[in-house]
Amino acid sequence: MACVQPFALLAAALMVLLACPIVAAERPVRIVALGDSLTAGLGLPADATFPGKLERALRAKGLAAEIVNAGVSGDTASGGLARLDWSVPEGTDAVIVELGANDMLMGVDPNVTRRALAEIVRRLAERRIAVLLAGMRAAPNLGADYGRDFETIYSELAARNDVLLYPFFLEGIAAASELNQRDGLHPTAAGVDVIVERILPKVEELIARVREKRG
């Protein structure tokens, strides 16, 4: 029997590798949803929350993403800032910031909310984490001046810091009784579906920014 030389075996192995290149799977984009009860999913089962439904919607479109639910019911923008470091761990690629609704409901001075959100955005930028800012609108009973000062927080911060903006997190479900729970403030599972459907294009932009940064 003829003896096969070692170099011949090596050459054959190299030819196989060249013919069948190995493609490494792309690491999923890690997104933290930093918010209040609207993110946490107050009154909803775990699989019906905004982060859970958003992750499934992204995967259905072929986008590999992991969405961490960092929502805390009752949290204000200042509360989100206070827990920012441990709510957004190392390895996070992007953050959806959904805060301010409780500030508005409690009539917090818009300047306080603005400073807290600005610091959140600044600290995430320092860490090179992409940001999608989800805005909120003020209730009419708070007055025109309060409404103007509050609602401009989000658009101004987004423009100044070049972060993505979704102007109103509750777009399409606010005041729609069939899409909200009995308290009129928190969405039902069907309401969350509407939120996810409407915000999805902006989240896709967020993921594109992460991938562009990865190169």
Task: State the catalytic residues.
Answer: 37, 183, 186
Q: Which residues pair with 135 in a beta bridge?
A: none
Query: What span, in angstroms and rounded, lies between the C-alpha atoms of 132 and 140?
Result: 26
Buried b (16+ CB within 10 A) or exposed e, 91-111: ebbbbbbbbbbbbbbeebebe
**What six digits make up the tokens of 138?**
């003020």
Closest by Cα among 48, 50, 127 to 88? 127
**What six digits make up the tokens of 104?**
């508005």
Query: What span, in angstroms and rounded, lies between the C-alpha atoms of 106 and 150?
Result: 12
CB distance 96 to 30 below 8 Å: no
Closest by Cα among 102, 83, 58, 98 to 210? 58
Contact residues for 166 (Cβ-Cβ < 8 A; gap 6+):
132, 133, 134, 135, 199, 202
Dihedral class, residue 129 (left if φ above 0, else alpha if ψ from -120 to 50, else beta): beta
